[in-house]
Chain A
Amino acid sequence: MESSVPQTAFHDFLVTDYPRIVGVVALTTGSRMAAEDAVHEALARAWERRNDIEYLNRWVLAVALNLARSRWRRLRREVLQKDPPDQPSVPAPEAMSPQLLNAVRELPARQREVVLLHYVLDKPIREIAQVTGLTEGGVKHALFRARQSLLNRLSPTEAPDAAHL
């Protein structure tokens, strides 16, 4: 990297924002490798446009999600019936609830993005709307539906093995 001020901002991003953004993009797409690729590519583009970017975090997140959606779409879009289905490549950490992971994966893509941006990245509704292209009302609606889906899926009446929650 060349310029001292952007270098500092980029370095800060790598230390503070990068891990969680990669994690969220990985959960969004189901592929950790695709997530890293998307975030790195977004960072490279951000470096080249650093004079035009106001909020590095938000810009990289938005571009990475765009790239990941596009890449994921390419991967999944035409699987002939004779081919085996793609396998998700997000490894399950020890502390993870497999049931929650499955529930998140089964959410519609837009709801999954919204719920992860809200709960994991602490993004406010307004910023989620900017990143996803939804209206603020649309974000609230998607968030409500995602939350309902997850809570219902994880409730003991429907999921007896979720007692640890």
Chain B
Amino acid sequence: MPLISEDQLESELRKLVIAHDRSPMAVEADVQRRVDRSRRRRRVAPWTAIAAMSLGAALVVVSRDQPAEVIAADDGAAFTPSPDSTGDLPTVDQIEIRTTRSGAQAIVTFTDVLTGQPTFTASIDSASPDLMQYTTQERSAVQVCGSVHTFNEDGFGSVDLLLPESQVRWDMSMTQPRPVYDDIDESSPIRGGKAVVCGPHAGFVQVSLWDLAPAEASQVSVTLSDDRRSLVVSVACPAPGDC
């Protein structure tokens, strides 16, 4: 049994907070600089948007297998354009990632109805190129279209949708991520989560959903929406406080 008391624990924890050596004036000056910078940004924002739209038309050069990233929460990143041609196949249209106190949900919506039901496969390596499948990956080795990524420390693993290239395409030049968190107060807790779309690679378009919650297969379900246009990925927290 532990022999230290709770009071001792509290006392020791307080010692971990290092005495701060910044003067309030120095902090205030830095905060003021940020306020000024933010105001300047707001003044030039409309002109920046116009310039970006003009430039955007000329800068659409991305390799076919290059992952495009959709970052939820306040990261605010946008899809990267892809030169893929969509043809008549359902195309990834948008991805929403929502976090709640009990878990997370990602909704991947397509431009047209999907055929088939998503099924679980134990690993990417054993996935069938003819089936719409999903799997989970440990944080120590997340395969994304041939690259292996790792998460440090508290990072969670991934939930991965593997969509046959014969059934699905992605064409990011047509899409913009829907802001997921713009309707909540800025001080509300967020957990983010991230979507990486890439491929086709080894016969699949891969939608890799990172960092939502512990990506254990038993806590993940993937279903097709009633209108067959969305894949709904639900990730449950194993227990309160564990997400």
Contact = CB atoms under 8 A, between A and B. Distances in A.
A36 B173 CA distance: 37
B1 A134 contact: no
A22 to B, nearest CB: 6
Contacts of B43: none
A142 B73 CA distance: 23
Given A76-B155, A120-B14, A138-B101, A93 B24 contact: no
Given A27-B17, A43-B31, A110-B242, A100 B148 contact: no
Interface in A38-66: 40-41, 43-45, 47-49, 58-59, 62-63, 65-66
A79 B18 CA distance: 29
B189 A152 contact: no
Interface string B74-106: 110000000000000000000000000100000
Nearest to A146: B241
Looking at chain A's contact residues, the main secondary structure is: helix
Nearest to B17: A23
A1 B189 contact: no
Contact of A10 (B28, B30, B34, B194): B28
Given A79-B149, A80-B150, A100 B2 contact: no
Contacts of B242: 108, 110, 142
A85 B8 CA distance: 33
B34 A93 contact: no
Contacts of A27: 16-17
Interface string A105-119: 100111100111001
A150 interface: yes
Contacts of A139: 241
B185 to A, nearest CB: 9
B63 interface: no
Contacts of A86: 152
A124 interface: no
A105 B16 CA distance: 11
A110 B214 CA distance: 13
Interface string A140-165: 01100101001110111100001001
B241 A120 contact: no
A49 B187 CA distance: 12
7 contacts: A23-B16, A63-B187, A79-B150, A81-B149, A96-B15, A141-B240, A155-B4
